[in-house]
Amino acid sequence: MVHCIIAVFILNELPMSLNNKQIRFLRAQAHSLKPVVLIGAAGLTDNVVNEINQALDDHELIKVRVNADDREDKKEMINSIITQTESVHVQSIGHIGIFYRQNQKNPKIEFPK
């Protein structure tokens, strides 16, 4: 017996996707940023997700320090941040993840044409 799973998305609910040029631009913008949220031993709690959401609303582009011992744990936390905050993962270097989510009411970052 074969089971098929069909995922149906409403266009507005899809996470934003960026092209390579936009990702390079965001990486350059994030170079001088310091991590605004630190994920400690307690992991990714609801309060940490709320802080990340608030930081994304305020800044659009943020760095998050993920203190996880195992690479798989770090990947799971990053994927969880992406899904829970509906943000785009720009880059990871070591324990630092860079995330972007455009502020719909007051966009701060303008991409070059």
Residue 2 lies in a domain: no
**Alpha-carbon dihedral sign for residues 86, 89, 90, 92:** positive
Residue 67 inside a domain? The answer is yes
Residue 25 lies in a domain: no
pLDDT the model gives residue 67: 92
3-state helix, strand, coil in the chain (%, to 5): 40, 20, 45
pTM of the model: 0.83
As for how many domains the chain has, the answer is 1
Range of the domain at 49: 34-100
Q: Output the domain CATH number for residue 66.
A: 3.30.110.60
Which residues make beta-bridge pairs with 63? 98
pLDDT at 17: 82
Report if residue 72 sits inside a domain: yes
Q: Taking the chain (113 residues) in consecutive chunks of 10 residues, what is each chunk's mean pLDDT?
A: 40 62 96 95 92 96 94 94 96 96 92 84
